[in-house]
Amino acid sequence: MRPSYFINFMMGIYIFIFFAYLFGPLIIMSITAFNSAEFPSITPWECFSFRWFNEGKIAYDGQHLAGLLSDWRLHDGIISSLIIGAGVVTLSVPIGMAAAIVLTQVRSQLRDIYYSISIMPVLFPGVIIGISTVVLWDRIAGLGGEGFIADIGRNGIFLTILAQTCFISTYCFLIFVARLQRFDQTQEEAALDLGASQTQVFFKILVPYLSPAIASAAVIAFLFSFENYNTTVFSILSDQTLTTVIASKVRLGISPALSALALTIIALTIIAAVTYEVLRRRAEKRYTESQEKFVKEKAADNRINKKYKVGFKIPKGITAILLIVVFATYGATQIVKNDLYGQSCIDAADKEKKSKFLEQLQTLESNELTDEELSGGSLGGNQDYGDIFGDPSLFQDFGGFD
Amino acid sequence: MNNFLFTQPFFKKNGKAVAIYFLVAIIFWFVFLVIIPQFYMLDLSFRTNVPPLARGGPEDYYTFEHYSHFIFGSKTATDAFNFVDLGVFGRTIFVSMLVTIANLLFCYPIAFYIAKIANPSTARLLIVSLIIPFWINELLRSFALRILFANEGVINNFLTGVGLLDQGILFITYDIGLYTGLIYAYILLMMFPLYNAIESLDINQIEAAKDLGSSSFRTHWRIVIPHAKPGIVSGCTMVFMLTVGALATPVVLSSPNTLWFPQLIYQWFNMNDNWSRGSAYSIILLIVSVIFVLTMMRIFKVRIGEIIK
């Protein structure tokens, strides 16, 4: 199929817009992490700084804005997210594996029903899974008096592990089902014929065959658990995970520390993705090389073995890296030239803000003391306050208290 | 029992220890994690909202109170219907449908391009770059949009700075940010089923249609789309379900004046401490989801196994 050049061109533009939509917000957010201003923005660029990755800042009006390193609530959240992730992996991978293996043994009449029940949890909205778990365990805890069960039934981390396992098991199940479809049953039969017991067959044949699926199911389970919000926010009760901490932060007002956190997560994701891709390509290359070797050995004449001259080719990746380097050096020189980096810049910006703040305070005070206004004359104070209370957009950006 | 449920005798096939592990794992999952909590929530949604100590007492009885509250409002209200909650509900469903359709329209050209036109290395690059944003937390992705759309945000600052506008547009107040965010949040769950479905189409069919003089639009309408039907249904179902049940994106991006239906559930549950009513509203959400899936399956004649792969 060869579309005309015009259509190709339009398609190129469309793809560019689409990917700009996917990546643009993330890139802009990453840039705002380096701006020292309190509000994540680009255009009033204050100073280039790493403060949001480190200790944050104390604003001119005394408000403390925590950075990544100094935010203990975030650290607690990450720790409980990790615990929950580990718990979910240990529960949902075995469950998914068992359910997938049993699927191959269920009678064909029952298979559809069995399959439907297994994938049902993914189709439930996440909030419902969270609510139903909490409701049930609250009842169980209420029945048990003051003992161990009551403690466990009101433990947010335990409930979150159960609630997340409910639907993450399904993802594991699907991974195992996909792998089992390519399983060669004769291997089992051969082992049985050679005198292995059923248990041995399971541990020596099936589990090794499924081990790649076990690994990927564990990774998927952990990632889904780590970034889940809809279920967790109900089942976590009074504890906090990373996602609930982020949500409560966003609700109180947006801060560049969140941009810094997001950039850290993005960097980790990209590194993981690149490593995975490199490893996969290496394995693939090794495989094709062994295949080629096999073909060459078998080839009767020398035609295939002839070496072809390979022209020099610039890999696409290099161009991208070069572009990034050029832009980065350009940005860095600009920043240094305009004295936008380092303590001096930050101090200057802070001083300016402080003086503005003091000025405002003074105007407020002087307004208060004007006799004419106190005596109930013309209440012309509105202009002096900059009409902040008349500004309709003042509270509209505020996320509300929900 | 063995012959009724399984093709071979279960314990003999797997060995005793492994068979017990299978049974325990599956029963634990199906019964304790999936079925009992849902039934208990259903039960609670028909009960009065009483403090834990009064449970089982005379004030704890079965009632339709919560469902009738959803439709008719509280008993003291003057309106005939509960316009606030019904409005939130209707708006959630309507917007979710629009979001689903928008996702389908946006994704189809890209999926077709990656599956059939691009050469393999470009296709792989595009797929990897599609996956990367998907691994970033939904909340943080919404936060990225929030930076763009806030009243003092990047877009408004840019527009006013350039001089196109005197005053910023209130993206958050008018929920433009929310709709953009909802489309953004689940677009990849539309992309991959579509891509997989189109990818399995034999390119010779398209060539044949071309050779027989079919226009490009007609080829898509008569060949590609019918072939991709399971993928389309699967993508639409996933996107609709996730959008209707979304909580993270509305928490970050919705304006304070409007609510998304799961936010309403959250309010009843956590702010007003009325678990029964929260459960009732959850059941309503669940029913809508189930009806949607069944309708999609009925209309497009696909099985549930084809929806989720």
Chain A and chain B share a number of CB contacts under 8 A equal to 291
Arithmetic mean of pLDDT, A144-156: 74
Question: In a mutagenesis test of the B interface, which of A230, A240, A284, A388 is the best target, namely the one with the most B β-carbons within 10 Å?
Answer: A230
Q: How many domains does chain A have?
A: 1
Chain A residue with the nearest C-alpha to that of B152? A41
A55: in domain: no
Nearest Cα to Cα of residue A317 among A309, A305, A325, A308: A325
The arithmetic mean of pLDDT across residues B7-36, rounded, is 83
Q: Could you tell me if residue A33 is inside a domain?
A: no
Q: Residue A401 — pLDDT band, cuts 50, 70, 90?
A: very low
Q: pLDDT value at position A386?
A: 46
Q: Comparing B277 with A59, which gets the higher pLDDT?
A: B277
Give residue B102's pLDDT. 93
pLDDT exceeds cutoff 90 at A86? yes
Residue A346 maps to a domain: no
Say which CATH architecture domain B84-307 belongs to: Orthogonal Bundle (1.10)
Q: Between B230 and A389, whose confidence is greater?
A: B230
Q: Is B222 on the interface with A (CB under 8 A)?
A: no
Chain B, 227-246: which have a CB under 8 Å from a chain A CB? 237, 241-242, 244-246
Interface contact B173, partner A, CB < 8 A: yes
Q: State the pLDDT at residue A89.
A: 93
Q: For chain B, which residues make up each domain, given as ranges?
A: 84-307
pLDDT at B62 over 80: no
Q: Which residues pair with A64 in a beta bridge?
A: A58
Between chains, do A230 and B246 touch, taking CB under 8 Å as contact? Answer: yes
3 state DSSP class of A37: coil
CB contact under 8 A, B147 and A234: no
Nearest CA in chain B to A30: B144
The answer on pLDDT for B99 being more than 90 is yes
Minimum mean pLDDT among A246-255, A334-343, B149-158: which range?
A334-343
| Per-chain mean pLDDT for chain A | 76
- Reduced to 3 states (helix: H, G, I; strand: E, B; else coil), residue B201 is coil
pLDDT in tens, B100-116: 999 999 999 888 888 88
Q: Examine residue A312 and state whether it is found in any structural domain, yes or no.
A: no
Residue A97, in any domain of the structure: yes
- According to the model, what pLDDT value does residue A391 have? 47
pLDDT digits (tens, 9 = 90+) for B260-269: 888 888 888 8
- pLDDT for A195 equals 84
CA dist., res. B32 & res. B38, Å (int): 10
Residue A277 belongs to some domain of the structure: no
Q: Tell me which residue of A386, A361, A381, A360 sits closest to A370, measured CA to CA.
A: A381
pLDDT at B191 over 70: yes
Of residues A39, A99, A124, nearest to B286 (C-beta): A124
Is a pLDDT exceeding 70 seen at residue B299?
Answer: yes
Is there a contact between A229 and B139 if contact means CB atoms under 8 Å apart?
yes
Which of the pair, B14 or B177, is modelled with greater confidence? B177
Q: Hey, are the CB atoms on A397 and B203 less than 8 Å from each other?
A: no
Task: Report the length, in residues, of chain A.
Answer: 402
Give mean pLDDT, residues B155-184. Answer: 81
**Over residues A120-134, mean pLDDT:** 86
Return the pLDDT at A87. Answer: 93
pLDDT at B64 over 80: no
d(C-alpha A35, C-alpha A24), whole Å: 17
| A229 is a domain residue | yes
Q: What does the alpha-carbon distance between residue A345 and residue A359 come to, in Å, rounded to a whole number? A: 21
Exposed (0-12), middle (13-18) or buried (19+): which is B214, by Cβ within 10 Å?
middle
Burial class (CB in 10 A: 0-12, 13-18, 19+), A193: exposed
- Here the CATH number for the domain that contains residue A232 is 1.10.3720.10
> What's the gap between Cα A182 and its chain centre?
32
Domain that holds residue A186: 72-254
Residues 6+ apart with CB under 8 A from B242: A125, B185, B186, B189
- Judging contacts by C-beta atoms under 8 Å, the chain B residues touching residue A102 are 22, 26
Averaged pLDDT for residues B286-309: 78
Q: Closest approach of chain A CAs to the CA of B299, in angstroms?
A: 18
Please give the pLDDT value at position A380. 43
Residue A48, beta-bridge partner list: A35, A341
pTM, two decimals, is 0.79
Query: Which stretches within A194-241 are classed as H helix?
Result: 198-201, 207-226, 232-235
In a domain, A184, yes or no: yes
| Residue B57 token pair | 């007492």
Position A378 scores a pLDDT of 45
| DSSP states along A332-377 | HHHHHHTT-BSHHHHHHHHHHHHHHHHHHHHHHHHHHH-HHHHTTS
Q: Does B155 touch chain A (CB under 8 A)?
A: no
CA atoms of A224 and B79, how far apart (whole Å) = 43
